[in-house]
Amino acid sequence: MADHIPVVQFYEGIPEEISNISLRRDRNTGVRRVVLFFERMEAIEQFKSFRNRFSKALKLIDEEGVISIEPLGIRFIFGGPEGDHLKQVECTLEIDQDDHWERLMRFLQRYAEANGMAYGESEKGQ
């Protein structure tokens, strides 16, 4: 497949920009969770979501192809003086198979490199 810039979409044809990523693993069950953070949602801010089809799955597209995964949950966080300013969106994904985890990690690495993001350990106690 040709070299492509990695893309994240909730709505077909509307790319979104990840602002942060948190990787978590339940010590008891071993289930892995990825939380993607978005400071803004292009589809919502410009009402593009009314003209495009919601796929019920988050699409992660890169040179290997498309990862289509239904989020465990999406949380919209509002702030501002009136409480109506979209402050952040958190999208939680649950990954239970090693090969799916490895594929997701390859996508996230490509996305990070293409968008100037760096991986780092969080400080203890956060």
Domain boundaries, given as residue ranges, for the chain: 7-114
* Burial classification of residue 16, based on how many CB atoms lie within 10 Å of its CB (0-12 exposed, 13-18 middle, 19 or more buried): buried
pTM for this model (two decimals): 0.79
Chain Cα centroid distance, residue 102: 16
pLDDT tens profile 53-95: 556 789 999 999 999 999 999 898 998 888 888 889 999 999 9
Bridge partner list, 34: 23, 93
Q: Looking at the domain that runs over 7-114, which CATH code has it been given? A: 2.40.30.220
| The predicted structure's pLDDT at residue 101 | 96
| The predicted structure's pLDDT at residue 69 | 93
Cα–Cα distance, 65 to 76 (Å, whole number):
28
Q: What is the mean predicted confidence (pLDDT) over 91-105? A: 95
**Residues 101 and 32 sit within 8 Å (Cβ to Cβ):** yes
